[in-house]
Amino acid sequence: MLKLVITLNILLPVIYGISTVLYGRYFIYKKTRNAKFASILLLCGVLLHLVFLISKGWHLQRFPIESSFESLSMLAFDIAIIYYVTERLKREYTTGVFFLTIVTLCQTISTLLFRGEKTTNELLANPLFGVHTSFTLLGLSALAIATLYALMYCVLARQIRNRQFGILYEGLPDLETLDSMRQNATICGIVLLGLGIMLGHFWAYKLFNHFGLADPKVWITDIALCAYATIWWSTKKSGVHGLHTNILSVWLFVMLFVLVAVLEFFLNTFHRFV
């Protein structure tokens, strides 16, 4: 099992790296062949990554996110699979180079700092906790992707307003497509994060006989989920989309990220593993 884990650990950044190059060539030259090969390679990478994570978890007998470097591999997988879903929904490949660059970087760092030693962590060995964490990380990754789409929208809108028709204007899809992809990623994020949060509250109640609301990161995440759901519902009901909605999406994620990072740095919570 360890040999399989090591082999896949080396292979994954290579696959993602080649896919990134192909997406980059499509962004510049708009050759459909590059986009198709890049998408196929990305799918192969995602499937092999899933096998890698399962094999690694089986070998270590725990959920593979004990260290920051293990978490980077999980983050790479989450971004890759969420991006692939949004790409297939719109059949739009031009933004792939941006997301796959992040995926390749995260997985490369994780690969270079790989450790295969078994360690004991009762929390990470709990299957329910693993499912809760998987949904939560997938949801946050989807919201991060939505934020990047919103950021692309804002940059492109500014370039159009200032009549700066450069490589981004030529390479990125139109504003309507970017906004639609942001909405798709946001819906994925709300659903997945919602499932993760519900499972987390259930898990906390089962183990500690409370819902974990004493942890500031828990209620901040709960509030953020409610805010995302409220914004999505209000924009869907009113039919109002555009620059202001995308700016709001960016700032909401930035605030969530900063608050969680500050709490992680200054406070000890039961979500700290290392």
Verify that 117 and 153 share a domain, yes or no: no
pLDDT at 153: 95
Report CA-CA distances (Å) from 7 to 11, 43, 111, 189, 274: 6, 18, 10, 31, 26
- Domain count for the chain: 2
Same domain, 146 and 183: yes
Same domain, yes or no, for 89 and 207? no
Domain stop point among 89, 121, 153: 121
Q: How far apart are CA 193 and CA 139, in angstroms?
A: 4
CB contact at 8 A, 156 and 169:
yes
Angle at 80 between CA 76 and CA 191, to 5 degrees: 100
Final residue of a domain: which of 121, 137, 164? 121
Both 88 and 178 in one domain: the answer is: no
Q: Do 75 and 206 reside in the same domain of the chain?
A: no
Same domain, 191 and 254: yes
In this structure, what token pair is assigned to residue 270? 């039961």
> Domain end: 121, 150, 181, which one?
121
Note whether 89 and 161 are same-domain residues. no
Per-residue pLDDT for the chain (274 aa), expressed as one digit of tens each?
778 898 999 999 999 999 999 999 999 998 999 999 999 999 999 999 999 999 988 887 878 877 777 889 999 999 999 999 999 998 999 999 999 999 999 999 999 988 766 666 666 667 777 788 889 999 999 999 999 999 999 999 998 988 888 788 788 899 999 999 999 999 999 999 999 989 888 877 776 676 666 677 788 888 899 999 998 888 888 777 788 899 999 999 999 888 887 876 766 555 554 4
SS3 123: coil
Helix, strand, coil percentages, rounded to 5, for the chain: 80, 0, 20
Q: Are residues 133 and 74 located together in one domain of the fold?
A: no
pLDDT of 46 reads: 97
182 and 117: one domain?
Answer: no
90 and 134 inside one domain: no
For 27, the domain range is: 1-121
Residue 31 shares a structural domain with residue 62:
yes
Q: What is the pTM of this model?
A: 0.88
The pLDDT value recorded for residue 205 is 75
Instruction: Please check whether residues 3 and 64 belong to one and the same domain.
Output: yes
